[in-house]
């Protein structure tokens, strides 16, 4: 058995953590960064970049770079029309089907894009375990977090992403609940907790009761399309509106440069009263753009957005049967809770200062690691009892929803419903499963349609088919059916409305194995380029030193310098290509060309150091 980790698969950033005997640890990359930007870029050659590298490519090759893919998980094309216009990548797919994201001539489903992010986190964790000297460093299982308000399709899409990344998804848990676990670690307290989680793309509120180590969610609510992304978009649109043309026809890369400046201004305004929205000159923006923005102005702009979070908060309190004053602790989670206006409004609503002692970016991943540890270790001191955020129902006569499992029911939860036939000898019944609170089926989320087949032919109304709906601890639905008179289990073909079938996931998995070799090649190419770039950088730095002549004591001839420069140019050309062997060869050639230079510089610096010493010694 390999290692097990907890993963926060975020809209903006993703993290991976694991449990140790001394408590949970967030895994960082070589430069100490825990956050992996949830950005995936695929270049023309098909090489996949994830994280910081992909983020850089947003400014140079934005049409091939995908961000905020979490907003598209488990959703249909018709859902996302409104928000695709500012995105550089193509958002499409068949009407009534899952979203497909176009990058160059390739198309990906959102779970496939997310799988790239998960694979990178898996790789990061494995590298960490290898460095720790672990013999068995493979990461094969994970707990992955989702917004509490995610519906069945969005959860299933997340689980599919895990499978595509080669992970067994032990459990899908809710982000606010995960955060409460992380908080519960050091304070073994009891009472009522409200977790306010405003992330990059989603908002959740969960009200929990903690007693005896049991974290029982009383109610949850939220909005899966509300987060920091929307703040960024408002600021970006503000700039676009102020640019003469209204921003129409700007190249995608320039829009991304504006978005980057908007994000920076937003961050600055969390600590300063005034910030500058500054965009360098770029294509379509010959003079650049600069504008001051005060916090007051910023808050007036985003106020409606923050107010929108308070509606679900009040609903969740109401569902839990609590007044704001009855909540003992308020916990802030998610990067967007750094915005002072958010803090102020939450504090006003609850009448108490919210907690934010744990890093709001990391707390969810920490909680996921704790839950992963509970699952594999069988420790029973802590237990999460979560709820299903939305009611589950079926469509009945006249397009009305009949609810079977109510929202805020503790999961796992089950419900059953009896069906019969309307025509003599009828052998099949169609069932439409929905999620949502609205009366009309058309206003609820369509989860799946299925057909109960193999009903023994009987007069109309006689068959008694019991359909059992089971929501598991992941908040994911499964359906089974039985004809009670004959005790015959019914075959069910579920067609998810906005998800992938198992067969589709299988096919993608096989394809990803087929691509694994290509992916491995791509990784080696990236490594080769990185190594080559660092050598080019170091060489050019040495050659450009003002004290070059002095440093080399004129031992390096101009012709030698010329041949080094030639080797540098050759390596740069090789880096621009995609042949790893050529890069390696050019790297070796540059190493050879600079060997004498390096020796001379080394000797001289040693001599100088010794000389310095001797002077002092005298």
Binding site for another protein (CB under 8 A): 170-171, 211-212, 214, 216, 374-376, 378, 380, 383-385, 409-414, 470, 472-473
Using the 8-state DSSP alphabet, how is residue 353 labeled? P
Return d(Cα 581, Cα 596) in angstroms, integer. 24
535's CB contacts (< 8 A; 6+ apart) are 571, 587, 590, 591
Told to judge if 8 belongs to the known catalytic residues of this protein, a careful annotator would answer yes
- At 168 the three-state DSSP class reads strand
Query: Which of 573, 499, 546 is CA-nearest to residue 74?
Result: 499
- In whole angstroms, how close is the CB of 143 to another protein at the nearest point? 11
**Secondary structure (H, E, C), 317-344:** HHHHCCCHHHCCEEEEECHHHHCHHHHH
Told to judge if 232 belongs to the known catalytic residues of this protein, a careful annotator would answer no
Which residue is catalytic, options 152, 160, 197, 229? 197
**Which residue number, 213 or 288, has a Cβ lying nearer to another protein?**
213
Return d(Cα 349, Cα 312) in angstroms, integer. 12
Which residue is catalytic, options 175, 204, 229, 386? 175
- In whole angstroms, how close is the CB of 380 to another protein at the nearest point? 6
**Which residue number, 136 or 581, has a Cβ lying nearer to another protein?**
136
Long-range contacts of 229-232 (CB under 8 A, 24+ apart): 229/11, 229/12, 229/68, 229/71, 229/200, 229/201, 230/305, 231/266, 231/302, 231/305, 231/336, 231/339, 232/259, 232/262, 232/263, 232/266
Q: Are 180 and 155 in contact (CB under 8 A)?
A: no
Strands in 408-564 per DSSP E: 413-419, 429-435, 445-453, 465-471, 477-483, 488-489, 491-496
- In whole angstroms, how close is the CB of 505 to another protein at the nearest point? 21
Told to judge if 599 belongs to the known catalytic residues of this protein, a careful annotator would answer no
Q: Cis link prior to 74 (omega < 30° from 0)?
A: no
- In whole angstroms, how close is the CB of 585 to another protein at the nearest point? 51
Q: Are 8 and 142 in contact (CB under 8 A)?
A: no
Q: Are 135 and 439 in contact (CB under 8 A)?
A: no
**Which residue number, 286 or 378, has a Cβ lying nearer to another protein?**
378
- In whole angstroms, how close is the CB of 407 to another protein at the nearest point? 12
Return d(Cα 395, Cα 397) in angstroms, integer. 7
- In whole angstroms, how close is the CB of 383 to another protein at the nearest point? 6
For the beta carbon of residue 66, count every other beta carbon within 10 angstroms. Answer: 29
449's CB contacts (< 8 A; 6+ apart) are 430, 431, 432, 433, 494, 495, 497
Which residue is catalytic, options 3, 61, 70, 483? 70
Side-chain half-sphere of 530: how many Cα atoms within 13 Å?
A: 8
**Which residue number, 173 or 444, has a Cβ lying nearer to another protein?**
173
- In whole angstroms, how close is the CB of 182 to another protein at the nearest point? 17
CA 436 to chain centroid:
24
Q: At what angle do helices 502-543 and 558-576 cross, to 10 degrees?
A: 170
**Which residue number, 374 or 575, has a Cβ lying nearer to another protein?**
374
Alpha-carbon dihedral sign for residues 239, 241, 245, 250: positive
Return d(Cα 358, Cα 197) in angstroms, integer. 13
- In whole angstroms, how close is the CB of 145 to another protein at the nearest point? 15
Query: Which of 139, 175, 168, 140 is CA-nearest to residue 154?
Result: 175
**Which residue number, 467 or 535, has a Cβ lying nearer to another protein?**
467
- In whole angstroms, how close is the CB of 504 to another protein at the nearest point? 25
Return d(Cα 527, Cα 426) in angstroms, integer. 63
**Residues β-bridged to residue 492:** 452
- What is the C-alpha radius of gyration for the chain, rounded to an integer number of angstroms? 29
- In whole angstroms, how close is the CB of 371 to another protein at the nearest point? 8
- In whole angstroms, how close is the CB of 20 to another protein at the nearest point? 20
Which residue is catalytic, options 8, 61, 152, 395? 8
- Active-site residues, by number, are 8, 70, 175, 197
């Amino acid at each position: 058995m390999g290692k097990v980790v907890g993963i926060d698969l975020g809209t903006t950033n993703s993290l991976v953590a694991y449990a140790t005997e001394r408590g949970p640890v967030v895994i960082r990359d070589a430069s100490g960064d825990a956050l992996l930007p949830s950005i995936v870029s695929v270049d023309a050659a098909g090489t996949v970049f994830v994280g910081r590298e992909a983020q850089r490519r947003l400014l140079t090759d934005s049409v091939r770079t995908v961000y905020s893919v979490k907003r598209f998980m488990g959703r249909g094309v018709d859902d996302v029309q409104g928000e695709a216009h500012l995105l550089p990548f193509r958002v499409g797919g068949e009407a009534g089907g899952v979203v497909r994201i176009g990058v160059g001539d390739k198309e990906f489903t959102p779970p496939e894009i997310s799988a790239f992010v998960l694979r990178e986190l898996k790789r990061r964790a494995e590298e960490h375990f290898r460095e720790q000297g672990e013999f068995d460093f493979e990461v094969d299982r994970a707990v992955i977090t989702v917004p509490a308000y995610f519906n069945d399709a969005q959860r299933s899409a997340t689980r599919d992403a895990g499978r595509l990344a080669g992970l067994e998804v032990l459990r899908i848990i809710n982000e606010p609940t995960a955060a409460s676990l992380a908080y519960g670690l050091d304070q073994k307290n009891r009472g009522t907790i409200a977790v306010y989680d405003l992330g990059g793309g989603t908002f959740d509120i969960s009200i929990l009761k903690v007693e005896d180590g049991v974290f029982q969610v009383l109610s949850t609510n939220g909005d899966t399309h509300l987060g920091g992304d929307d703040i960024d978009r408002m600021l970006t649109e503000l700039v676009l509106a102020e640019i003469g043309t209204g921003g129409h026809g700007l190249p995608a890369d320039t829009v991304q440069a504006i978005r980057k400046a908007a994000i920076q201004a937003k961050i600055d305004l969390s600590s300063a009263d005034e910030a500058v929205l500054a965009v360098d000159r770029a294509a379509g923006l010959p003079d650049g753009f600069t504008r001051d923005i005060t916090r007051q102005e910023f808050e007036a702009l985003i106020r409606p957005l923050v107010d929108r979070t308070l509606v679900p908060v009040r609903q969740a309190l109401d569902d839990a049967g609590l007044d704001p004053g009855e909540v003992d602790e308020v916990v802030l989670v998610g990067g967007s809770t750094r915005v002072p206006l958010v803090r102020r409004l939450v504090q006003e609503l609850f009448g108490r200062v919210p907690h934010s002692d744990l890093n709001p970016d990391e707390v969810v991943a920490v909680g996921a690691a704790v839950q992963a540890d509970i699952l594999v270790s069988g420790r029973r001191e802590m237990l999460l009892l979560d709820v299903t955020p939305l009611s589950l129902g079926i469509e009945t006569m006249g397009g009305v929803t009949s609810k079977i499992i109510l929202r805020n029911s503790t999961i796992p939860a089950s419900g059953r419903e009896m069906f019969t036939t309307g025509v003599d000898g009828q052998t099949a019944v169609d069932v439409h499963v929905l999620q949502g609170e609205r009366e009309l089926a058309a206003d609820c989320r369509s989860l799946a349609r299925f057909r109960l087949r193999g009903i023994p032919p009987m007069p109309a109304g006689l068959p008694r088919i019991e359909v059992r709906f089971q929501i598991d601890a992941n908040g994911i639905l499964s359906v089974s059916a039985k004809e009670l008179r004959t005790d015959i289990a019914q075959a069910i073909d579920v067609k998810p409305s906005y998800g992938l079938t198992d067969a589709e996931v299988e096919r993608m998995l096989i394809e990803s194995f087929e691509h694994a070799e290509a992916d491995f090649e791509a990784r080696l190419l990236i490594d080769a380029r990185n190594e080559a770039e660092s050598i080019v950088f170091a060489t050019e730095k040495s050659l450009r030193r003002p004290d070059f002549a002095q440093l080399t004591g004129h031992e390096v001839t101009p012709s030698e310098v010329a041949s080094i420069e030639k080797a540098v140019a050759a390596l740069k050309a090789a880096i621009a290509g995609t042949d790893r062997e050529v890069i390696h060869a050019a790297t070796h050639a540059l190493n050879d060309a600079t060997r004498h230079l390096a020796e001379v510089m080394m000797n001289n610096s040693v001599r100088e150091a010794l000389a310095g010493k001797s002077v002092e010694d005298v």
